[in-house]
Amino acid sequence: MERLDWSGLPHALPTLWSGMLITLQITVLAIVFGVVFGTLLAALRLSAVKPLVYFARMFVTIFRSFPLVLVLLWFFLLIPQLLQAVLRIPPTTDIRLVSAMVAFALFEAAYYAEIIRAGIQAVPRTQSGAALALGMTYLQAMRLVILPQAFRAMLPLLLTQAIVLFQDTSLVYVIGLADFFRSSTNIGDRDGTAVEMVLFSGLVYFVICGATSGMVKLLQKKGAR
């Protein structure tokens, strides 16, 4: 341990913080988009319209079958061309960040879709039966009766997935985006303090994720009572 040199750490903090902001940006965007699009996918999957069911199932299966690293690389390859062709985002935008955001948003939607589907299916069937009998449409029954109960029950799972997602954002390393972890290793490579920087970033992730999952556990206990 005495071989470690922590003197460079205070200097590194501003860079690490801006890296952390990138990490948080991707995390928040992926959670919001993932839950919204995931709910939509789950609703499609449980609907009675066959083509929609197939689409949702295919989307989820494809994204869940391949490593996140590969998905990130794919989007890093595809996005620049899509940007020019479709999205018309100004050329000054950071392609890496946009690629990562799109990749994470879609990837997480697939994972959230499965959690939400299970949550919806756990709501007793009589609930939707009663709602429909009261004259509600499928959408009304979903929005007013099923989803509120489902989301309450699966909140701990959704949060746990958010913690996993927060950790997974570190994989943007493979497309060279300077998130928290990549910033750490960049500084480590530059100053010859790779060991210290890797240890420090591991500690930061550990504290954040450990504290958050502890809170989720508390929430779970409260909900179970």
Partner 1 sequence: MSYHWNWGILLEPVSTGEPSTYLGWLLSGLFNTVAVSLAAWIIALAVGACMGILRTLPDRRLAAIGTAYVVVFRNIPLIVQFFIWYIVLPELLPKALGDWFKSLAPLMQFYSTSVLCLGLFTAARVCEQVRSGLNALPRGQKAAGLALGLTLAQVYRFILLPVGWRIIVPPITSEFLNIFKNSAVASTIGLLELSAQARQLVDFTAQPYESFIAVTLAYGLINLSVMYLMRWLEHKTSLPGYLGAK
Residue 14 binds partner 1 (CB under 8 A): no
What DSSP line would sit under 38-84, residue for residue? HHHHHHHHHSS-HHHHHHHHHHHHHHHHS-HHHHHHHHHHHHHHHII
Using rule CB under 8 A, residue 88 touches partner 1: no
CB 174 within 8 A of CB 73: yes
The type of residue at 200 is F
Instruction: Determine if 110 is a binding residue for partner 1 (CB under 8 A).
Output: no
Using CB under 8 A as the binding rule, whether residue 181 contacts partner 1 is answered as: yes
Which one among 65, 87, 190, 218 touches partner 1, defined by CB under 8 A?
65
Residue 48 in contact with partner 1, rule: CB under 8 A: no
| Amino acid code (one letter) for 165 | L
50 makes contact with partner 1 (CB under 8 A): no
Q: Which is nearer to partner 1, 43 or 107 (CB)?
A: 107
Q: Which two tokens stand for residue 98?
A: 């946009």
Closest C-alpha to 165, from 218, 222, 101, 76: 101
Minimal CA–CA distance to 120: which of 148, 144, 161?
A: 148
* Contact residue for partner 1 among 202, 218, 219, 221 (CB under 8 A): 202
Stretch that binds partner 1, among 7-15, 49-57, 138-146, 202-210 (CB under 8 A): 202-210
Tell me which residues touch partner 1 (CB under 8 A): 1, 3, 65-70, 73-74, 77, 81, 85, 163, 167-168, 170-171, 173-174, 181, 185, 194-195, 198-199, 201-202, 205-206, 209-210, 213
